[in-house]
Amino acid sequence: MRTNKIIVAAAILALGLLAVPLYFTSTFILHMFTLVFFYIALTAAWNIPAFGGKFSLGHAAFFGLGAYAASILYVKYGISPLIGIFAGTVCAMLGGVILSFPLIRLKGPFFTLASIAFAEVLRMVAIDWRSMTNGSVGLNIPFKPGWLNLTFTSGMPFYYIALGLAVLVILLAWWIRSSALGYHLRAAAADEDAAKALGINTAKSHFFALMWSSGLTGMIAVFYVFYNYVLEPGTAFSMDLFSLQPAMNGIIGGMGTVWGPVIGAIIMTPLGEFLRFYLGTIQQGLNFVVYGLMLIAVVNFVPGGIVSLMAPWFKKKKSGESSARDN
């Protein structure tokens, strides 16, 4: 009975989301929905290593690699971004390989700090490699509408692409968490030494989690570049947008869970846009003060994130349905 209700609710939600562009033609509304879906996908991808207790602040590195790979192929060589998606995914995964071998055995803040340094090094490379990246000037995506060029005259196709990416990454995150890899990662997060004693190759589990996370991040980056039509090192490797923001979403929603990133992105993305618009006119950076206060409040009072507040309700409902069946 509970499964049937979930299926019906999911179907209603899906139909509602598919109908949004048909009833809301406002450019701002479509942009906001697209941005929320984008951050749901990005946060869910960032969250995969968190299943194993790895906290990365260097995902801007994978984002930039994927973005530049697809953009360079399209702008300089005329290769369709539909092919560039695969190139961006592969390049981001290669970045994950480079990061993982020397750093995957690091724990806690050491891994986090090393991931930040990796992203910063790549940003400097993008600035200095002018013959390939155009340096700080960046790359402009030509406006040639068509699916082959991933360029459109309206925001509706981008809305549906972002929605599809969000659903895809959530399903993959759920599958990974429910697989043997997910169980190994959760065991490592709980007690890595005990997991090793049970025969789990924790380094291998962390490696594959990072591969999934980096590859998905690179794929999502391709969408973002062609949605904005411009790419430069400061944006492509932005710590604020593609490292700190997903981490903030994950922590507030519930890091290491499937639905935590979704809840966090739904709450924080519109709030972030609102704070930037209103507080940015008062004092630049004031929105980050509000972010910091929210983060402190969540970590102190709801360390499991907002999703942990909902867990007792689901357990109570499940136990009630079990009692009803027994009677």
Residues 172-187: pLDDT tens digits? 999 999 999 999 999 9
The pLDDT value recorded for residue 19 is 84
Decide if 145 is inside a domain: yes
Q: How far apart are CA 166 and CA 150, in angstroms?
A: 17
Contact between 173 and 194 (Cβ < 8 Å): no
Contact between 280 and 229 (Cβ < 8 Å): no
For the chain, the 3-state helix, strand and coil shares in percent, each to the nearest 5, are 80, 0, 20
Decide if 6 is inside a domain: no
- Alpha-helical runs (H) found in 104-133: 109-128, 130-133
Nearest by Cα to 246 from 223, 279, 276, 213: 213
Decide if 90 is inside a domain: yes
The pLDDT value recorded for residue 108 is 65
pLDDT in tens, 237-284: 998 889 989 999 999 999 989 999 999 999 999 888 777 777 666 666
Q: What is the pTM of this model?
A: 0.90
Average predicted confidence (pLDDT) for the chain: 86
Decide if 7 is inside a domain: no
Domain ranges, residue 135? 17-326
Decide if 3 is inside a domain: no
pLDDT over 90 (residue 56): no
Decide if 56 is inside a domain: yes
Write phi, then psi, for 142 (nearest 5 degrees): -60, 140
Q: Which residue has the higher pLDDT, 70 or 112?
A: 70
| Number of neighbouring beta carbons within 10 Å of residue 196 | 14
What's the number of domains the chain is made of? 1
Decide if 302 is inside a domain: yes
Decide if 132 is inside a domain: yes
